Amino acid sequence: MKFTYPKNEKLKSKTSIGLLFSEGKSVSKYPLRLVFHSGSLDENEKIKMGVSVSKRNFKKAVDRNYFKRILRETYRLNKHLLIDNLDKPYAFMLFYQTKDRLSYEEINTKTIQLFEKFIAQNIKKDATINDDNSIKD
């Protein structure tokens, strides 16, 4: 697996971002929050990811850009956790939600825990729903 973050994986569409905020669900692992929505992408796209750091918590753009860079890097190195367990396309938005200045190692650990929590809650739940539907048929 390539550890890249190519342009076609970047979430930039205003409609997709709007869907995330209106119909998306979220999972949190302090200080990170992952908002996701399935099914709003093309067939050839498996995943789209965007990152955000609040201006309320970091007034200086330099600080916001630093944490966005770290979030993109931790996603890039750990996206295999998501891609290996996804069966349908998802759009994700990763938020850094604290004023605390955590180190790269702490953010990386929290990102891994957040991805694992997402997989445990949503992917496993989808599998049981599909199993239940197949039993009823």
E strand spans, 14-122: 25-29, 32-38, 47-53, 90-96
Q: Is the pLDDT of residue 130 over 60?
A: no
Average pLDDT, the chain: 87
In CATH terms, is domain 7-136 a member of 3.30.70.240? Answer: no
Task: Give the pTM.
Answer: 0.85
Contact 76, 46 (CB under 8 A): no
Q: Rounded CA gap, 12 and 136, in Å?
A: 40
Q: What is the pLDDT of residue 79?
A: 92
Q: Where are the domains of the chain?
A: 7-136
In this structure, the dihedral spanned by the alpha carbons of residues 64, 67, 71 and 76, taken in order and rounded to 10 degrees, is 100
Let me know how long the chain is.
Answer: 137
pLDDT tens-digit readout, 18-50: 989 999 999 999 999 999 998 766 667 789 999
Q: What is the pLDDT of residue 136?
A: 39
List, as one string, the DSSP characters of 91-112: EEEEEE--SS---HHHHHHHHH
Q: What is the pLDDT of residue 78?
A: 94
pLDDT tens-digit readout, 52-109: 999 999 999 999 999 999 999 999 999 999 989 888 889 999 999 999 999 999 999 9
> What's at 85, amino acid-wise?
N
